[in-house]
Structure 1
Amino acid sequence: MSADRHPLVAFIGATTAAIPPASAAFAEHFPEATLWNVLDDRLITEAVAAGGLTPPLAARMGALVRYAVEAGADGVLLTCSMYGPVAHELGAGGDVPIYASDDAAFDDVVSAGYERVILLSSLPEALRDAEERFALFARERSGAPRVTGVLAADAFAAAASGDTAAVTDALASAVLSAEPADAVLLAQYSLAPAAARLAERLGLPVMAGPPRAAARMRQALLGTRP
């Protein structure tokens, strides 16, 4: 990457609902980046229909990642949490940073010192996937909090339609019906626009992946945080 141009960061997505929160986070935390959206909007629906990530779907996502890198992307961010394993496989040892959607958020949750965290999702498949990935992540680190997965199914359609107020209502209802926790971690980018409202409603820290991913990508590509 030459110093005289803005880094090109490719968002590889499975739903259009993830694009606005990712773009907003990069505008705030990595404004130097040039953003490129690469979308296959069947990846999420087919993963849900299959009950999770399958080898053919992983291969399809992998092809998109390789396409972005070969076309000149300086960094790649997968904005769909269910495809995190693809990012880990392709990003290991490579020159181009390839990040799963919530790796940086997982880091922050562990380092914050919380004892109990609610992991919140609008899809059962995404929730199960996030729980499994956080469990693997936590095994390698001391002081990881106890995480409780909570499903807010009513938030899915609201997020797809861009109704942030309805998303907030659905998420708040789900959290309030669960055991008390110290913080909330949103498992999907499509829920991120509700983070600030939800934090105000609950009186708890609410962590969302996009801002933390943007800061991490900036650190990787420019060596600094904003």
Structure 2
Amino acid sequence: RPWNLLDDALLSDADAAGGLTPALADRMRRLIAYAVEGGAQGVLLTCSLYGPVATDADAGVPVLAADAAVFASALGGGHREVLVLATFAAALDDTVDRLRASARAARSPTRIVGQVIAPGAVPDPGAADAVLLAQYSLAPHADALAEALGLPVHAGPHAAARALRTAVRNATDGLTEGSIPCSE
């Protein structure tokens, strides 16, 4: 049963501090611990800034970073060029930088390009043979965009939900197919 915890000041506090500080990372770890103490079988962080906390969390349950699954999906899809879309430059720059770093780490030959678009606009994909949505808020438009462009569209929440479901199933003994509802 999915449930959500929100500390809506984590992003603004990180912005004011100039990035992720040890104190803010500790604050995120406390939220993760709170979720686990409340019965969570897995935790998905939905802010990319806090992704490094996911990789060092020792929570006893799977803890996933916001974009790890969508990056793996986009880079593992055999695409020559992935177009990253965002509605504002900071989100675009951050996602393109992190996706390029993931591509280098995976030794993927995939070319990464980016484009800022107005909400609701249909972009020109150029030579791209796939699209990655930089913001979770764009995910509801993934299917319509895929249809309009005739290209696969990788959306963070969809990939993350599938990855979390798999991680929880792998970490939990005795579960049967379909016993962990996880909305995408």
For residue 197 of structure 1, report the CA deviation from its aligned partner: 1.1
Q: Distance between the aligned counterparts of 2:152 and 2:177, measured in 1?
A: 21
Give CA-to-partner distance per residue, 1:131-151, whole Å, 9 cap, x none: 232233222323341111222
> Which residue, out of 195, 210, 224, partners 2:157?
210
Aligned to 1:120: 85
The answer to whether 1:59 aligns with 2:26 is: yes
For residue 98 of structure 1, report the CA deviation from its aligned partner: 0.4
Q: Could you state the TM-score of these two structures normalised by the residue count of structure 1?
A: 0.66
Q: Could you state the TM-score of these two structures normalised by the residue count of structure 2?
A: 0.79
For residue 225 of structure 1, report the CA deviation from its aligned partner: 7.6
Give CA-to-partner distance per residue, 1:144-181, whole Å, 9 cap, x none: 411112223x4xxxxxxxxxxxx332xx2xx32x6431
Superposed counterparts of 1:113-192, under 5 Å: 113-152=78-117, 154=118, 167-169=119-121, 172=122, 175-176=123-124, 179-192=126-139
Percent identity at matched positions?
46
Preserved CA contact (<8 Å) 1:52 1:125: no
Unaligned 5+ residue runs, structure 1?
1-33, 155-166
For residue 66 of structure 1, report the CA deviation from its aligned partner: 2.3
Q: Sort the Cα spacing of 1:66 and 1:136 in 2 relative to 1 into closer, same or farther, 3 A.
A: farther
Preserved CA contact (<8 Å) 1:104 1:212: yes
> Which residue, out of 34, 41, 48, partners 1:81?
48
Give CA-to-partner distance per residue, 1:12-65, whole Å, 9 cap, x none: xxxxxxxxxxxxxxxxxxxxxx11110122233444x44963314433323212
> Which residue, out of 45, 54, 57, partners 1:90?
57
Preserved CA contact (<8 Å) 2:20 2:50: no
Match for 1:220: what amino acid? Answer: A
Aligned residues: 172
Aligned to 1:103: 68
Higher-helix-fraction structure: 1
Q: Distance between the aligned counterparts of 1:82 and 1:127, measured in 2?
A: 13
SS state at 1:39 partner: coil
Unaligned 5+ residue runs, structure 2?
171-175, 179-184
Preserved CA contact (<8 Å) 2:20 2:49: no
Question: How much is the aligned-residue C-alpha RMSD, in angstroms?
Answer: 2.5
